[in-house]
Structure 1
Amino acid sequence: MGRAVGRALLVALGIAAVSAMWEAYKSWGPADGVKLFGARVLPRTTDAAIPHLSRIWHAFGSKETGGAITLGPSKTVLQSVTDSALNTLGWSAAGFAIGVVVGMLLALLMDRLVIAERALMPYVVLSQTVPLIALAPLVTKWGQGSKLGSYEWQPWNSVAVIAAYLAFFPVAVGMVRGLKSPSAVHSDYFRCSAAGWWKTLVRLKLPSSVPFLVPALRLAAAGAVIGTIVAEISTGLDGGIGRLIITYSQQATGDPSRVYAAVIGAAVLGLVAAAAVTVFDIALWRYHRGATTR
């Protein structure tokens, strides 16, 4: 409990520090921003570029005005951001689950067969060099019209697949490292005890991989959220926080505070995803203690 409270305090201090730097730069920074060798490295301080935090806060309570997508005049910005974030969270969770399963299966295969690791690991790393903005339309076209039994492919399924594409990589790499982390003494003990691969996996390798797997899951959760937001923008799927950011940026009112409100909603969404992994981390904390004493 004390560890969780400490983390919460650090998060609160970080938010306070960022808020203070934001307001300080807004108040005293140059109006045209900061340039280095002719390139702007810090943004302008005009209201159209960086509004005051109080203005962003009040934007959450303002009424919707419509736009490229009908948001509903009875809604407030906070309600729209919340609804959109929940949709994105659901699609991210589906992609996260797919990515974790695929990453774990690849890790188990690479741990079981050395030749599989040598053959697959370069492609696992190479997969992350493909830009999502180019991959998203392809996945959408591949999925259109597809059926699995009586189930017909839905647009959000493409978004979940793209989220899984980012989520599987840290899980596969982190778990492979974790499965190979047991010391030679422990591995020799299981080998001398005539323990089979399955027993060694369950009793030794999986518990030893927890300290490596949990950080990988955090990265996978963040990657799933990022992949979902990018996929929403690239595929045109309505209802998510990614499309809401685009909608606010295209509205005739030109109020930047609404765009920042949606961005804050996306940031909170990432924190929620990380918090969900933290619950899993706390449940398996005894394996962390065991790892530090080996």
Structure 2
Amino acid sequence: MRRVLGALGGFAAFVALWEGYKAVGAPEGTALWGVHILPRTDDLSMPHLYTVIQRLGHPELAGGRPIWRVVLDACLFTFGITAAGFAAGVLVGFLLAALMQRFGVIERGLLPYVVLSQTVPLVALAPLVAGWSGRLSFGPYPWQDWMTVSTIAAYLAFFPVAVGLLRGLQSPPASGVELMRSYAAGWWRTFVKLRLPSALPFLFPALRLAGAAAVVGAVVGEISTGTRGGIGRLVIEYAREATSDPAKVYTAMLGAAVLGLAVAGFVSLLEIPLMRHRRRVEVNVI
């Protein structure tokens, strides 16, 4: 209930901030010592939120489907791509974290490059991935455009999982590790019985970050590669009508934001049963 009330309070604060600034802000923007620090509040740059909501119910084109249906279909398309990239990124991040925890030389040699990988701009990476994968095929099945977008999503998703899970795997106290050694438990049994359960409080925040990063990667990948059908492409298409129909642009942005929240919420649903069992065990031990 606290989370629900917190989410509703945050949404109400956002609406109040948006509409309040639009009411008191300058149409040409707020400037300080000649430098614009706040955006313009005219209807072309910053439409009312109720205008955006109303636009969702209007047809995209004359006689066409309503905007909300077009945005929903685009979000579902991008969600499928995001799910594939998220799963691949989590798998890669999990394997890297396990290897770095097992072998200190791999952690010292690989972790700096894992961090460095996130400094590469996606706008530059997406064409490279599209060019490298253009000639790939899986037997009779050629490489598809959506696979390129999923690869970009996985590229962003693996980093928080690798770093967060590594921190969690290294979190058990020395006394617990020594106890497992006294029982002659090998690395795998110690990993499953001690390190992995101890890493859950670190893993789920990392998964939420990975889910949001995967959505960002999918949207940017769709924009960079020109993949049609997703919310990223829809943002570009609607942006062309920004001067004549500004509320239409914000409908696509709203869809992308809701998609990111939905992915993070899905991860939170997975967290509830696992962390509830952990809390029960901790209470019993205490």
**TM-score (norm. length: structure 1):** 0.93
Contact preservation (8 Å) 1:211, 1:288:
no
Deviations 1:122-146 (A, max 9, x none): 0000000000000000101111131
State the 1:151 CA deviation.
Answer: 2.0
Q: Distance in 2 between matches of 1:253 and 1:32?
A: 15
The alignment's C-alpha RMSD in Å is 1.6
Aligned pairs (5 A) from 1:122-161: 122-161=112-151
**Aligned twin of 2:15:** 19
- Distance change (3 Å), C-alpha of 1:155 and 1:81: same
Write the letter of the residue equivalent to 1:26.
Answer: K
State the 1:290 CA deviation.
Answer: 5.3
State yes or no: 1:55 paired with 2:51.
yes
Which of 221, 227, 237 is 1:237 aligned to?
Answer: 227
State the 1:291 CA deviation.
Answer: 6.6
Deviations 1:47-76 (A, max 9, x none): 00111111111100111128xxxxxx5211
Contact preservation (8 Å) 1:210, 1:288:
no
**Aligned twin of 1:192:** 182
- Distance change (3 Å), C-alpha of 1:235 and 1:214: same
State the 1:287 CA deviation.
Answer: 2.5
Helix, strand or coil: the match of 1:284? helix
Helix, strand or coil: the match of 2:40? coil
Write the letter of the residue equivalent to 2:195.
Answer: K
Deviations 1:207-265 (A, max 9, x none): 00000000000000000000000111111111111111111111387211111111111
- Distance change (3 Å), C-alpha of 1:33 and 1:291: farther
After TM superposition, the runs of 4+ consecutive aligned structure 1 residues lying more than 4 A away are 288-294
Which of 274, 278, 283 is 1:287 aligned to?
Answer: 278
Q: Distance in 1 between matches of 2:242 and 2:249?
A: 13
Matched residues, percent identical? 52
Q: Distance in 2 between matches of 1:231 and 1:289?
A: 42
Which of 70, 87, 104 is 1:97 aligned to?
Answer: 87
- Distance change (3 Å), C-alpha of 1:75 and 1:91: same
State yes or no: 1:270 paired with 2:260.
yes
State yes or no: 1:34 paired with 2:30.
yes
State yes or no: 1:86 paired with 2:82.
no
State the 1:7 CA deviation.
Answer: 0.8
Write the letter of the residue equivalent to 1:6.
Answer: R
**Aligned twin of 1:217:** 207
Q: Distance in 1 between matches of 2:214 and 2:282?
A: 28
- Any unmatched runs of 5+ in structure 2? none
Q: Distance in 2 between matches of 1:254 and 1:96?
A: 36
**Aligned twin of 1:203:** 193
Helix, strand or coil: the match of 2:113? helix
**Aligned twin of 2:110:** 120
State yes or no: 1:260 paired with 2:258.
no
Contact preservation (8 Å) 1:51, 1:256:
yes
Aligned pairs (5 A) from 1:167-178: 167-178=157-168
Helix, strand or coil: the match of 1:35? strand
Write the letter of the residue equivalent to 1:7.
Answer: R
**TM-score (norm. length: structure 2):** 0.95
Helix, strand or coil: the match of 2:57? coil
Q: Distance in 1 between matches of 2:255 and 2:219?
A: 12
